[in-house]
């Protein structure tokens, strides 16, 4: 399973795709949920309400308890104040709503050796413990914590695309917590 398959499997109800503009994931979200059920917010891209809103993940212009699913694919590492985003996600999700996060794993073996997760726009890097703590102290329960190797679809801007086959192969023998990408499903506590 890759990042897109993981996310598509969990989508339900009214969906907010945060940071939707920068990659191909949004097209998959639209296909899975239906265009009429998806709203995208990003600092880039068009401002075409009601479907697309130009705005910040750290201060979203939505009412409380609006969404059933919130997707943050390769987003949280780009935020200077990720806790503000988590609080906003909690606010805009309905009780029992799910948030799906994918982000680089700071503790992965490949990231430790090659520093693949170090990039000019990566302001907030997480390991399992840091991400779990951030989510739990802000009203989320962890439903699933999975790990995958990076692939081109999850890291389109990679400066080392030649490395993906090697990274996939080495991932087969690595313990889960040493893999490159964390995929987390959380639920807003009631």
Task: Kindly report the pTM of this predicted structure.
Answer: 0.90
Helix (H, G, I), strand (E, B) or coil at 157: coil
Helix (H, G, I), strand (E, B) or coil at 144: strand
The answer to whether residues 185 and 132 touch, using CB atoms and an 8 Å cutoff, is no
∠ Cα 105 110 117 (to 5°): 50
Q: Domains of the chain: which residue ranges?
A: 3-188
Residue 175: how many CB atoms within 10 A of its CB? 8
Q: Tell me, what's the pLDDT at 131?
A: 97
Closest by CA position to 101, among listed 154, 152, 60: 154
Q: What is the pLDDT of residues 147-175, one digit of tens each?
A: 987 665 555 555 566 777 777 777 778 77
Q: Tell me, what's the pLDDT at 22?
A: 80
Q: How far apart are alpha carbons 151 and 173 in whole angstroms?
A: 16
The CATH fold assigned to 3-188 is Rossmann fold (3.40.50)
Q: What is the pLDDT of residues 77-136, one digit of tens each?
A: 989 999 999 999 999 999 999 999 999 888 887 777 776 676 777 788 889 999 999 999
pLDDT at 32 over 90: yes
Q: What is the mean pLDDT of the chain?
A: 88
């Amino acid at each position: 399973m890759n990042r897109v398959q993981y996310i598509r499997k969990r989508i339900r109800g009214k969906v907010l795709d945060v940071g939707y503009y920068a990659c191909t994931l949004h097209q998959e979200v639209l296909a899975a949920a239906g265009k009429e059920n998806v709203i995208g917010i990003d600092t880039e891209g068009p401002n075409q309400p009601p479907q697309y809103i130009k705005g910040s993940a750290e201060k979203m212009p939505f009412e409380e308890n609006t969404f059933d699913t919130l997707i943050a694919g390769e987003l949280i590492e780009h935020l200077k104040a990720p806790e503000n985003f988590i609080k906003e996600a909690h606010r805009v999700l309905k009780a029992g709503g799910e948030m799906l996060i994918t982000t680089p794993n700071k503790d992965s073996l490949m990231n430790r050796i090659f520093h693949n997760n170090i990039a000019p726009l990566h302001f907030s890097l997480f390991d399992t413990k840091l991400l779990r703590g951030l989510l739990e102290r802000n009203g989320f329960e962890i439903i699933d914590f999975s790990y995958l190797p990076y692939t081109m679809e999850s890291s389109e801007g990679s400066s080392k695309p030649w490395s993906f086959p090697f990274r996939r192969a080495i991932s087969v023998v690595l313990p889960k917590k040493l893999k490159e990408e964390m995929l987390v499903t959380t639920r807003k506590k009631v």
